[in-house]
A and B are shown apart, each in its own frame.
Chain A
C-alpha cells in the first residue's frame, strides 16, 4: 500500500513534456448527468482529450442524476451521442477502453444519502488509484438545484480533500439571475469551496479566438500602441443567432432574455478581454484583476432615461430565416404570448477609463437574425482628410480589425488600397486569416480546453466572483428600468431574418453596424 509519509514525491518524467500547467488525475462527478450538456459536450470533450492523448490517466466519470439507470444504460446513451458529435470521430477500441471509467450514481439532488453513498464510491475509487483523491464536481443541473447540490456536498464532506489532493467545483451558467441571487450563489459556493477551487465556466472563453485576443494584443507590438481612444473610433461586438426557440428552449429563454442569457456573461467577458490593460503576468488572478477593472469601469445606466438612450430591446415578428417561414417570438413554443422578454438587445457602452474615454462599444445580440455569427470589430479612425482621402469620391473608410469568434474563427484587417489603373481610385481590401485554413487541424472544443484547465488548476479562463457580480450590477440597472420602472423603455420589433430593429441602428448615430 501507499506509504503516506512519502506523499510529497514528484514525477520526473512529467517535466518539460508540455508547455502548460499539468492536468492531474481525478474523478469528475457531473450533476445533471442525464442532460444534453453532459451527452453533447462534457463526455465527448473528455473522450476527445483521451483520443488526443491529453487526458491524465485514471480519470473517472460519475454521472449523478435523478433518473433510474444502470451504468450500462448510461454508457450506451453517451456512446450513441458521442458517435454523432465527437470532434475526432468515434473509435470503438478507444471507447471500449474509455467506457469502464464511466459510471452512474442515481440520486435526487436533495437527498443527502445520495451524497453520502457518492462519498463512499469516491473513496473506493481513490483506494484503487493508490490513495490519490482529486475530485472535480461539475454542476450542470438546472440552476434551482445549485444550492442543494453545494450544501449537500458540504454536508457529505465532499468539499474537503485529503492532504496533497484537491476538490474543485465547476459551475455552469447562469450564475444567478440578478445581483442578489448571484451574491447568494457565490456565498453558497464559497461556503463550500474556496474561491481558488471554484471554476465558473463560460465556454466562450475556451474558444480559440477568444484566447487569441490576448495573444493578438500583447504578443504583437503593432497593435497595442494603437489600442486606445487616440486611434480607435468605436468597437462593435455582435453575437447573432439564426435559431429561435426550437427544442423547447422558449421555456428557459423567456424567463431569461438576451441580456441575462448572453450579455451578462459571454459578451461582457469578450468586452473585458478587448478592453483590459496588459496584465502584470499570465496567472489567473493577474488576468482576471485586469478584466474586472473593465467591468467595474462600465458607465452605469441607472435611470430609465439612460437605459432608453443607450439600450434597445426587441422581439422578432414573423418572418423568413434561411428561406423558411418562422413564427414571431411571442408565438414560439413555451413563450408567453404577452411576453416582455427581449429576444434581441443592442447596447451602447462607455468604459470610463483613460484608455477608452469617448470610445463607444456597441454590442448586439439576438435570436432569429439572418445567420449565426459572433465577432468583435475594432474600427480605427480614418486617416486625416488630406492627400488621398481628400480626393473626390475617395471615401473608403478607416481600418477595421475583425476578430471572428464563431463559426469561421479568424482575424481580418481591412485596409485601403489603390485600384489598378491609370486613375487614382481607392478601395478597401481585406487581409484575412482563417484558423481552419491556416491550421488545418481542428481547434479543440471549448469544453476540452476548459475541463483540462480545471484539472490543472488554471482558472485564467474562468470567471471570478467579483467579475460575475460586477457584470450583474451593470445588467441589473437595465433590467430594473425595463421591468420595475413606471415608464419603461419600449420593446422594439423587427422582422425575423432581418438584422434587428431600426431603433438599434439609430443607437449608433453616425456609425453603422458592420455588415456580417
Chain B
C-alpha cells in the first residue's frame, strides 16, 4: 500500500480539528457559487492511491448529483495510526449560468481504522441527508453490522471481487436490513433487461416463450458475474428452477422441460456481448459490439423477423453510478434475483 499520490487534486490539506472551520471558509471565500447537496456520497477504497482517481470520479458524478462527497483511502498494513484530510469543491455550471459546487472531503487513514471510520469520518456527514456508500473492491472485515447500519445505500461492483461467492455471502446479513444494495454488475444488465423485455412484447415471441430450450450468454472473462446476474434474472422472471451448474453450463427446468444455458467467455468484446434465447421456432437476441453505445435487438420467429437498436449501458463506472443514482428506488428486483445468483455461484 502506498502513501497517497497526487494529493494536489484533493485540494487543501487541513488539520482534522479545523476541518469544519476550513469548509466554512471555503464557501465564504466564494460568494458566486451555490453549495448544493442532496446526499452524502462516500467512496471507500482499501487503496491509498485510489483517492486521486476517485476525486476525478466525483467530479464527473457531481455534474448530475449534488452531494457532499467523502473520499476514504485506507492503508491497513501500516503499523502506525494516522489520519490526513483534504478539502476541495467540484463546481459545474448549471444551465450555463450559475456555478453549482459540491464540497469534497478526502481522508487517508492508516493502521487500524474501524473506530476512526465511525468517529472521524462519519462525524462529517451532512446531517439529515442519506448516505450513499460506494465500497470499491472486496468486502473486508470492516464491513460489519455496526458499519452498514449507518449506510442508506451501498454501491458495490462484484466484478472486482476475486471470490464472488464469499463476498456475496457477506452481503446476505446486510440484506436482512433496510440497506439498499446496488451492484454495478447488475446495473450493467439494465438495458439488456429492457431490451429482452421489449423483444418479448412481441406476441409471436410470447407465444414461443413456453418452448424456450436454450440460452447463450457471452461475456468478458472478468464479467462472469454480470452474465450470471443476467441468467438469474431470466430464470427468476420465467419461474425456472435450477437443476445443475457445471461452470459454464447451467441446466434449468420449467415443469418437466429442461433449459440449457451456456456462459461463454469472449475476451475482445463488450462486458456483456450477447444474450440469446432460443426455442425451436424462435431466436431472440440482444447483442453489443465492443465500445458501442447501442444494443442490437433481433427477433426471428419463423418468417417474422425484426431488428432494431436501443441504448446500451455505459462501460464507465462513473456513468454507471450516475445512472444508478438517478434511478433510485429500493432495488427490490435485485433482491428478488439474488437467491438465484447465490445458487448459481454455488
Chain A interface residues toward B at CB < 8 A: 2-3, 6-7, 9-17, 19, 24-25, 50-53, 56-58, 91, 93-94, 97, 129-132, 408, 434, 436-441
Q: Determine if B311 and A11 form an interchain contact, defined as CB atoms under 8 angstroms apart.
A: no
Q: With a CB–CB cut-off of 8 A, which chain B residues contact A440?
A: 62-66, 92, 94
Chain B 277-320: CB-based contact to A (< 8 A → 1; otherwise 0)? 00000000000000001100100010010101111000000000
Q: Determine if B202 and A12 form an interchain contact, defined as CB atoms under 8 angstroms apart.
A: no
**For the complex, what is the distance from the CA of A436 to the CA of B92, rounded to whole Å?**
11
Q: With a CB–CB cut-off of 8 A, which chain A residues contact B332?
A: 16
**For the complex, what is the distance from the CA of A112 to the CA of B301, rounded to whole Å?**
36
Q: With a CB–CB cut-off of 8 A, which chain B residues contact A3?
A: 207
Q: Determine if B206 and A9 form an interchain contact, defined as CB atoms under 8 angstroms apart.
A: yes
Q: With a CB–CB cut-off of 8 A, which chain B residues contact A53?
A: 191, 194, 310-311
Whether, in the assembled complex, B177 has its beta carbon less than 8 Å from a beta carbon of chain A, the answer is: no
Q: Determine if B95 and A13 form an interchain contact, defined as CB atoms under 8 angstroms apart.
A: no
Closest 7 CB pairs of A and B: A440-B64, A13-B197, A57-B198, A130-B204, A9-B206, A53-B311, A97-B309
Contact status of A13 and B326, CB under 8 A, knowing A131-B203, A132-B203, A440-B92 = no
Q: Determine if B206 and A11 form an interchain contact, defined as CB atoms under 8 angstroms apart.
A: yes
Q: With a CB–CB cut-off of 8 A, which chain A residues contact B306?
A: 58
Whether, in the assembled complex, B201 has its beta carbon less than 8 Å from a beta carbon of chain A, the answer is: yes
Contact of B201 among A2, A6, A14, A91 (CB under 8 A): A14
Name B311's closest neighbour in chain A (CB-CB): A53
Q: With a CB–CB cut-off of 8 A, which chain B residues contact A434?
A: 94
Q: Determine if B196 and A437 form an interchain contact, defined as CB atoms under 8 angstroms apart.
A: no
Q: With a CB–CB cut-off of 8 A, which chain B residues contact A441?
A: 64, 326
Name the distance in Å between B57's Cβ and chain A's nearest Cβ.
15
Whether, in the assembled complex, B159 has its beta carbon less than 8 Å from a beta carbon of chain A, the answer is: no
Contact status of A437 and B203, CB under 8 A, knowing A17-B197, A57-B198 = no
Name the distance in Å between B338's Cβ and chain A's nearest Cβ.
13
Name B277's closest neighbour in chain A (CB-CB): A13
Q: With a CB–CB cut-off of 8 A, which chain A residues contact B239?
A: 12
Q: With a CB–CB cut-off of 8 A, which chain A residues contact B92?
A: 440
Q: Determine if B209 and A12 form an interchain contact, defined as CB atoms under 8 angstroms apart.
A: yes
Name the distance in Å between A129's Cβ and chain B's nearest Cβ.
7
Q: List 13 A-B contacts (CB under 8 A).
A: A2-B207, A10-B206, A57-B297, A93-B294, A97-B309, A130-B203, A130-B301, A437-B36, A437-B98, A438-B66, A439-B64, A439-B326, A440-B63
Q: With a CB–CB cut-off of 8 A, which chain B residues contact A57?
A: 198-199, 201-202, 297, 308
Q: Determine if B309 and A2 form an interchain contact, defined as CB atoms under 8 angstroms apart.
A: no
Q: With a CB–CB cut-off of 8 A, which chain B residues contact A91?
A: 293
**For the complex, what is the distance from the CA of A439 to the CA of B100, rounded to whole Å?**
11
Q: Determine if B238 and A12 form an interchain contact, defined as CB atoms under 8 angstroms apart.
A: yes
Chain B 53-88: CB-based contact to A (< 8 A → 1; otherwise 0)? 000000000111110000000000000000000000
Q: With a CB–CB cut-off of 8 A, which chain B residues contact A13?
A: 193, 196-197, 200, 234, 237-238
Whether, in the assembled complex, B257 has its beta carbon less than 8 Å from a beta carbon of chain A, the answer is: no
Chain B 179-198: CB-based contact to A (< 8 A → 1; otherwise 0)? 00000000000010110111
Contact of A17 among B194, B199, B304 (CB under 8 A): B194
Name A15's closest neighbour in chain B (CB-CB): B237
Chain B 150-193: CB-based contact to A (< 8 A → 1; otherwise 0)? 00000000000000000000000000000000000000000101
B94, B234, B329: which has the most chain A beta carbons within 10 Å?
Answer: B94
Q: Determine if A2 and B203 form an interchain contact, defined as CB atoms under 8 angstroms apart.
A: yes
Whether, in the assembled complex, B34 has its beta carbon less than 8 Å from a beta carbon of chain A, the answer is: yes
Whether, in the assembled complex, B243 has its beta carbon less than 8 Å from a beta carbon of chain A, the answer is: no
**For the complex, what is the distance from the CA of A432 to the CA of B63, rounded to whole Å?**
19
**For the complex, what is the distance from the CA of A134 to the CA of B110, rounded to whole Å?**
63
Whether, in the assembled complex, B3 has its beta carbon less than 8 Å from a beta carbon of chain A, the answer is: no
Q: Determine if B206 and A94 form an interchain contact, defined as CB atoms under 8 angstroms apart.
A: no
Name A6's closest neighbour in chain B (CB-CB): B207
Whether, in the assembled complex, B9 has its beta carbon less than 8 Å from a beta carbon of chain A, the answer is: no
**For the complex, what is the distance from the CA of A6 to the CA of B63, rounded to whole Å?**
49
Whether, in the assembled complex, B114 has its beta carbon less than 8 Å from a beta carbon of chain A, the answer is: no
Whether, in the assembled complex, B38 has its beta carbon less than 8 Å from a beta carbon of chain A, the answer is: yes
Name A440's closest neighbour in chain B (CB-CB): B64
Q: With a CB–CB cut-off of 8 A, which chain A residues contact B95?
A: 408, 436
Name the distance in Å between B123's Cβ and chain A's nearest Cβ.
25
Q: With a CB–CB cut-off of 8 A, which chain B residues contact A24?
A: 201
**For the complex, what is the distance from the CA of A438 to the CA of B65, rounded to whole Å?**
7
B63, B64, B201, B238: which has the most chain A beta carbons within 10 Å?
Answer: B201
Name the distance in Å between A458's Cβ and chain B's nearest Cβ.
17
**For the complex, what is the distance from the CA of A212 to the CA of B301, rounded to whole Å?**
44
Q: Determine if A9 and B207 form an interchain contact, defined as CB atoms under 8 angstroms apart.
A: yes
**For the complex, what is the distance from the CA of A434 to the CA of B66, rounded to whole Å?**
11
Name the distance in Å between A24's Cβ and chain B's nearest Cβ.
7
